[in-house]
Copies of this chain bind each other. A is one copy, B any other.
């Protein structure tokens, strides 16, 4: 049985940022959730305390050996001032899948969701109400043993912090230019690719920087084995519409099982639009383009929801998709997901959790 969440309120509430200043991940609210794990004792001492610095030993294992996982989800305020979370259980279930791979103790999903709920409820005045804004929720777990030497830590912290955000990409829902990466590899089957762990993101930074220097917003990752099959776009899953059918790479262990990916697939099926999860080679996409059948391409992820792809560059061969404009399916999915998330549209799938 988990202890009750102890609450210590801040005595110095911060000033809230202007909507125009938000950006992504730059501001944090007044409080945070913390819970500790110790071998033999389990998860304990859940508490909401003022947002403030962690005191970590310089040998703290997370900094040296990267044993950590995280999640990302959002809270939205509806027009009638309710507060909605979007599929929070899916995030915490995925965190447990990540934790198992990283040898980190799993969490009680219901308790973790209730902790998120409690924290967001306390911080509801921080949920911004402008277009494309939300309160980004970052649950994360990390190894806290002060020890050098590679082994699983015996102690961990689980935390939740909140950040009022605008659009992840400054471009917003406008189509972006993507560089097809055939040198650097993000992950490979048998590795950590399907988990949300810091190392996957560390592995992605260099290619992203090289792409930016070349004038591209992000990279399209190919598989690490044959450098042939499409994996992800930046930190998002990727979808293509080819000849009336929507296709997306199957989950084979090297890519993240995105919750927006799953939401997108369920919506497409609900609408009767054919959708397939399977291996997709970059050659197939270029061939479809040559035949005039490549109708749309877009990324899906919690941070940006939908990010249309207007151009691909693979080994210097540049193709434009849907004349560089946002496609019909991408628009419909974006409008539907954000509509459900913000309570503007019906929620036939019970995806939202009303917490106030």
Where the two chains meet, the residues of A that have a C-beta atom closer than 8 Å to any C-beta of B are 24-26, 28, 32, 51-60, 62-68, 70, 72, 101-103, 136, 138, 140, 142, 146-152, 159, 161, 163, 168, 183-192, 197-206, 208-209, 224-225, 227, 234-235, 303
Contact = CB atoms under 8 A, between A and B. Distances in A.
Contacts of A168: 149
Of listed A72, A188, A203, residue having the most chain B CB within 10 A: A203
Nearest to A53: B55
A66 B202 contact: yes
A32 B185 CA distance: 35
9 contacts: A54-B58, A63-B63, A66-B199, A72-B148, A101-B206, A103-B209, A151-B205, A185-B188, A188-B191
A303 B197 contact: no
A174 B306 CA distance: 56
Contact of A57 (B53, B184, B188, B225): B53
A235 B152 CA distance: 14
Contacts of A55: 53-55
A128 B152 CA distance: 27
Given A72-B148, A150-B208, A186-B191, 9 more contacts: A66-B68, A66-B197, A66-B201, A136-B148, A185-B188, A185-B190, A185-B191, A198-B202, A199-B199
A59 B32 CA distance: 11
A159 B26 CA distance: 25
Contacts of A303: 149
A327 B72 CA distance: 52
Contact of A102 (B200, B206, B225, B227): B206
Nearest to A186: B191
B66 A66 contact: yes
A296 to B, nearest CB: 24
B205 A199 contact: no
Which 6 residue pairs of A and B lie closest in terms of their CB atoms, listed nearest first?
Answer: A199-B199, A66-B198, A25-B148, A185-B190, A66-B202, A65-B201
Given A26-B147, A53-B57, A191 B205 contact: no
Interface centre among A60, A148, A188, A191 (most CB of B within 10 A): A148
Given A147-B26, A149-B303, A59 B206 contact: no
Contacts of A205: 65, 67, 102-103, 150-152
A190 B306 CA distance: 28
B53 A202 contact: no
A197 B198 CA distance: 11
A25 B225 contact: no
A59 B192 contact: no
A198 B159 contact: no
B190 A199 contact: no
A54 B51 contact: no
Contact of A142 (B63, B67, B209): B63
B59 A138 contact: yes
Contacts of A184: 190-191
A54 B168 CA distance: 30
Contacts of A102: 202, 205-206
Contacts of A103: 205-206, 209
B188 A224 contact: yes
Nearest to A150: B201
A59 B161 contact: yes
